[in-house]
Structure 1
């Protein structure tokens, strides 16, 4: 049983290392070799892609000076806050702004754009950091797999060392797999942020029309 378990670890280690090498080779865009997602990496969303409202003028730098805008931006940009509730908050806030509605809308959009773009960049940078860790982990798994094979082939094999390295390899592959599952989930987050920014921008523009 112990022998079969060790062979399974060797096979799994080799498969994981090969899978990561293949994934890196199939990078969606060679400019971003550490990008682990199937979706193409778009480093930053442009204002023009999500805003067709009035010119922002100095709103891009002034929104942080307004405490109410800053507080609302923090609230609306939180992904845990339901998008439907966020849209209602926008309607209520801009309706209360009355004659200053246009300026308030520009400031609110500028704040949401800055904040959500920063969130998006943070998530994407984190994904690339994890990918680099995965590449290093794959190399370690590959090296430990070869070392385990050498220990098994020794005559006589040192069973204590075989067991110790086999356990280490099991732990390494488990961490590798856990990270892989997390990356698959987190790869959806930039798209979710894009969709949120577009929806909130549209809600603001509808109030300004």
Structure 2
């Protein structure tokens, strides 16, 4: 990456980000948060989970799928999940194997969603780097034109207009970076909370 590009990114980002700066050593990760690409089910769920395990019946499979779909909805607040979890656990006597299948499916759904978001952040960051490079190139050309004894003012005007527009686009996009960077963390926290909720009913009813 060109030094000028890095400088342009830092200058433009400073107006749109908090005082804490991201580490640009990884161009695909502009976030302050540490990048964790993949999560581990075993770090969240203490009971054995057989990846080949299948529900004992169609009814059980339907119950698991319904609960998994509900738990995976980000718009559903965590505080509202407990009644559904408790009701499900009572139906299956707090069976750790059944609840393990529930968490395994929730983990698979949310961790894949999280990985797609991280990939999207990477694509976003690279597009911002490309735009910063374009801005820096236009600045260098404009400075070179202005240093001439007879500048091409039509070209200078065109470059200035392009620079103004590109900088507006860059800054406008950059305002979304805090939200984008927080989303993988929120999904990770949701998974931990769901794991703890399911573990609690296993311990209470198992």
Above 0.5 in TM-score? yes
Q: How far off is 1:88 after superposition?
A: 2.7
Q: How far off is 1:207 after superposition?
A: 0.7
Q: C-alpha offsets along residues 85-107 of structure 1, whole Å, 9 cap, x if unaligned?
A: 12332122222x23474333111
Structure 2 CA distance for partners of 1:92 and 1:163, relative to 1, 3 Å: farther
- TM-score w.r.t. the length of structure 2 is 0.78
- 1:120 is matched with 114
When you count helix as a share of all residues, which structure comes out higher? 1
| Unaligned residue ranges in structure 1 (runs of 5+) | 1-12
Aligned counterparts of 2:76 and 2:179: Cα–Cα separation in 1: 19
CA contact (8 A) 2:12 2:171 kept: no
CA contact (8 A) 2:8 2:132 kept: yes
Task: Name the count of aligned residue pairs.
Answer: 189
- TM-score w.r.t. the length of structure 1 is 0.77
Q: How far off is 1:162 after superposition?
A: 2.6
CA contact (8 A) 1:127 1:186 kept: yes
Within the candidate set 3, 10, 16, 2:8 is matched to 16
Aligned counterparts of 1:50 and 1:14: Cα–Cα separation in 2: 38
SS at match of 2:39: coil
Within the candidate set 48, 66, 69, 1:55 is matched to 48
| Unaligned residue ranges in structure 2 (runs of 5+) | 14-20
Aligned counterparts of 1:121 and 1:143: Cα–Cα separation in 2: 33
Q: How far off is 1:20 after superposition?
A: 7.6
